[in-house]
Structures are given as C-alpha cells and as structure tokens.
Amino acid sequence: MPTAVFPEIATLTPAAVLFRGLGDPNRLAILQHLAFGEHRVRDLVDHLGLAQSTVSAHCLCLAESGLIQSRAQGRSTVYSLARPELIDLLKAAEQLLAATGDAVMLCPHNDGSVR
C-alpha cells in the first residue's frame, strides 16, 4: 500500500524537528539555565559539567534554530533565550512528566536516541 503524505502530517514536520532538537538532555539543560537569565559559555560549562566544546556546539545549534540569541561581552559570548515562550514549554513538559511519572520511559521506542 503506497504511503501518502497528508497535508496535516506535513504541517507537523517543523514541530517534529523542534521536538527532536529539544530531545537532547544537554540542550534542555542549557535552555533551563537560560530561563533564569543570560549566561556565558563558561558559566554553562561550570553549571553543567560539560566540555566547553559541547556547550558551544549545542548553543550554536540552538542559536541557528532561533531559540537562543547571543551577544558579545568583551571576549565572552553571552547567551539568552530568544523565545520567552520556551519557559512555558519547559514548564508544561515538567507538568506532563509529573502527571505521567515514568510511563514515558516504558515505551519500547523511547531508547534515548534521537532519530
């Protein structure tokens, strides 16, 4: 049976890509820290215990996606949320996880990998 691409499914592709991008725990941790205000890469490295190259790569990805923004401060780059509605999205995710408990981890298709 041929696979048809229905318009309503096609319109969901950007949302699926957004959620896939947010599916990385390191990027989520960066966003959570930026929800409290601006941070330099050095601050994020110290807070998260990640390598500077890892934080920089994730910040670049988030910036290219339009989710965070950067500005120069001396020799440092300071990042902040470009979209304040991300705070609401993160809070909604926390509430959903609190309501469902560990059930999301029980799905055999949630192996932690990003496809």
Residue 10 CA from chain centroid, whole number: 22
Structure tokens at 73: 């401060």
Mean pLDDT of 26-32: 95
What percent of the chain shows pLDDT beyond 90? 60
Rg of the Cα trace of the chain? 17
pLDDT number for residue 2: 56
Q: Is the pTM of this model over 0.75?
A: yes
pLDDT number for residue 106: 74
Of the candidates 40, 36, 42, the one whose C-alpha atom is nearest the C-alpha of residue 73 is: 40
Mean pLDDT of 30-39: 95
What digits encode the pLDDT tens for the residues 66-105?
Answer: 999 999 999 999 999 999 899 999 999 889 988 987 787 7
Average pLDDT of the chain, as a whole number:
87
pLDDT number for residue 80: 97
